[in-house]
Chains A and B, each alone.
Chain A
């Protein structure tokens, strides 16, 4: 009986660990999409956060410096997307896809440049237990904070207005392009913490492909969570649970690949069950062009 309880507790704890990077990425996605910009590049932003934080932590010896650098890198990548989406009116999904490919390649290139070996970096100073718990708590705190900002503050209202109808927002004197830009960059900063957590809190290094599509699962979490911070957090926990389950069931006879596929399959099923019936912000993904 105690063993069963211990096992359940372990799975729940692992759920939190697995969900945290998803929460950060999903919150970044929510903020971006509420303003009207679909950020497919969350995966690339997480990679940027993961790699940069490792490189800087290794160079400075401080994981906090690494984390800050990771946030900056994520914000920078998001700024590229934000610029394209707002000033140039580009196709957001195409741009996000390109961002992911470029970020993955840049990180791989970066590993060779910095560590003179392909595939993975060396171990760097990471966050210990305390730091890891802080990052987990911070994820939930960010979710609540984002909820309050969106619902209760003027800026949050402006963001929501831009996501629903940017031309109406502009008629009220809001600079829709600038609001979207800020929302996307801030979202990128939040999402990159997911990458920072993966590298500095879990493994203390960066390796090629370590994000493994989490940025995409986060997108499903955004939809599943109906584009709200609290909903997306719940969805992220749901997907994290499947990841944890896969880990826990490793010892059983179930083949590891099928278990690894669980979170992704769960996302696909969630899409089918949910997608058509919920409404994205009305102007989500639609470039706003001033006449």
Chain B
């Protein structure tokens, strides 16, 4: 299957053009081709002027300074050396001009995510691009910041830049873009002026039919299961401070927040990978900070990690061996095949072959294996960290449905996600995580999108 197949795309100066599609539809590949990073097998790319690309996962060098990143390979010189003062000055002026102020001397890894995005933008803007491509630019922004971000972008468009925003956030597309192109399975399937269409129509075009339905939520009265009190933990640069919350058996608690506000610390503390202070109690017995993942798994705490490729799967191994990873000691060696087949069936892993090499499977099928094994063996508490990241809608709905079914069956599910829609669809209660603290708690009936967005941005 082609990643991109026979696509025509025109961008005009002064316009914000949205490119939408499911994960795997080809949007990011198309953007890379437009930028020139990837050479197409057929067809042409023409641009009048430079093309800039702001990547979804920033291409910033963490241990270098802001000015070093912004001016990399275009450094002002004095003789054979770099003119550092000129470099600093240039970054300052650039920031003033576009309203994206940053300290030129700051080391990038110390910066919060939103500021890092400014650095990424500045790097491209310094080249005065005629065309600016933005890949999922609002993924790391608080709802409140999104409006001001698009304000900046509209300003750029006003100066004559042609803007392409690759995104899956349809509400933003309708609100801020002028035109939208919809991709599915590598091809363009629709094209609209955003004033002429709706988010629902675009969603149908993205999926090629009706979006499958989520599993039904059973009437369950949650029982006491898990409590965290004064939980503080650190995982790399992710920090959670003095968090107190409860999670019952038979309920899904969603943890809403922008990436980089302590989610990894929370997940890793529960997984046994990060030490913590404060208390965590499961079914009356406290968890110990020095226990390690094996003890947590033995207690029935199963974690779906954020990054399946590097944290959950052995890409060189086959499906069978991956399907038992995490329970390799609980299942007798001779029964590994059986356990794997159960997961393949229940989660519709394709191809349904225990000997297939996992690295060759699509992201959606890889994730099904990870989720499948986390839900196997009757876990007591499931920590699902971005369980539908980077997978197509069909697989995403399946994963979310299985989580709901686990909740119906009496497990407690902590759903940590950067996608508010996912949380609203699945959660019984919602916690908001901002700057490492729990900023608010909402029941399913009392969800207030505006208030949640405001809390996520760090406003009280």
Contact = CB atoms under 8 A, between A and B. Distances in A.
B59 A168 contact: yes
A152 interface: yes
Interface in B408-460: none
A35 to B, nearest CB: 13
Contacts of A153: 80-82
Interface residues of B, number: 21
B75 interface: yes
A282 B64 contact: no
B64 A161 contact: yes
Nearest to A171: B59
Nearest to A174: B73
A182 to B, nearest CB: 15
A161 B61 contact: yes
Contact of A165 (B62, B75, B77): B62
Nearest to A279: B63
B60 interface: yes
B179 interface: no
A168 B72 CA distance: 10
A152 B64 contact: no
A154 B73 CA distance: 7
Interface residues of A, number: 18
A168 B120 CA distance: 11
Contacts of B63: 164, 282
B68 interface: yes
Contacts of A164: 61-64
Contacts of B53: 171
B72 A174 contact: yes
B123 interface: yes
A152 B75 contact: no
Given A164-B64, A282-B63, A173 B82 contact: no
A154 B61 contact: no
A153 B68 CA distance: 12
Interface in A169-200: 169, 171-174
A168 B64 CA distance: 11
Interface string B75-98: 101001110000000000000000
Nearest to A162: B61
B59 A167 contact: yes
Contacts of A291: 38
A160 B74 CA distance: 15
B61 A158 contact: no
Interface in A133-179: 152-154, 157-158, 160-161, 164-165, 167-169, 171-174
B316 to A, nearest CB: 15
A246 to B, nearest CB: 38
A168 B61 contact: yes
Contacts of A165: 59-62
A73 to B, nearest CB: 29
A171 B53 CA distance: 9
A237 to B, nearest CB: 27
A165 B75 CA distance: 18
Given A161-B61, A164-B63, A169 B81 contact: no
Interface string B53-70: 101000111111000110
B64 A160 contact: yes
Contacts of B82: 152-154, 157
A157 B61 CA distance: 11
A172 B55 CA distance: 12
Nearest to A158: B73
Nearest to B84: A152
A119 B53 CA distance: 60
Contacts of B68: 157, 161
A153 B82 CA distance: 5
Contacts of A160: 64
Contacts of B37: 171
Contact of A169 (B55, B61, B77): B61
A154 B38 contact: no
A165 B120 CA distance: 15
B80 A157 contact: no
Contacts of A158: 72-73
Name the residue among B62, B68, B81 with the largest chain A CB count within 10 angstroms.
Answer: B81
B84 to A, nearest CB: 8
A172 B59 CA distance: 9
Contacts of B61: 161, 164-165, 168-169
Given A157-B75, A158-B73, A171 B55 contact: yes
Given A154-B75, A172-B73, A172-B74, 17 more contacts: A153-B81, A157-B82, A158-B72, A160-B64, A161-B61, A164-B61, A165-B59, A167-B59, A168-B59, A168-B60, A169-B73, A171-B55, A171-B59, A172-B72, A173-B73, A282-B62, A291-B38
Considering the complex of A and B, which 5 residue pairs feature the smallest CB-CB distances, nearest first?
A171-B59, A172-B72, A168-B59, A172-B73, A152-B81
23 contacts: A152-B81, A152-B82, A153-B80, A153-B81, A153-B82, A154-B75, A157-B72, A157-B82, A158-B73, A161-B72, A164-B61, A165-B61, A168-B60, A168-B72, A169-B61, A169-B73, A171-B37, A171-B55, A172-B72, A172-B73, A174-B72, A174-B73, A282-B62
Interface of A: 152-154, 157-158, 160-161, 164-165, 167-169, 171-174, 282, 291
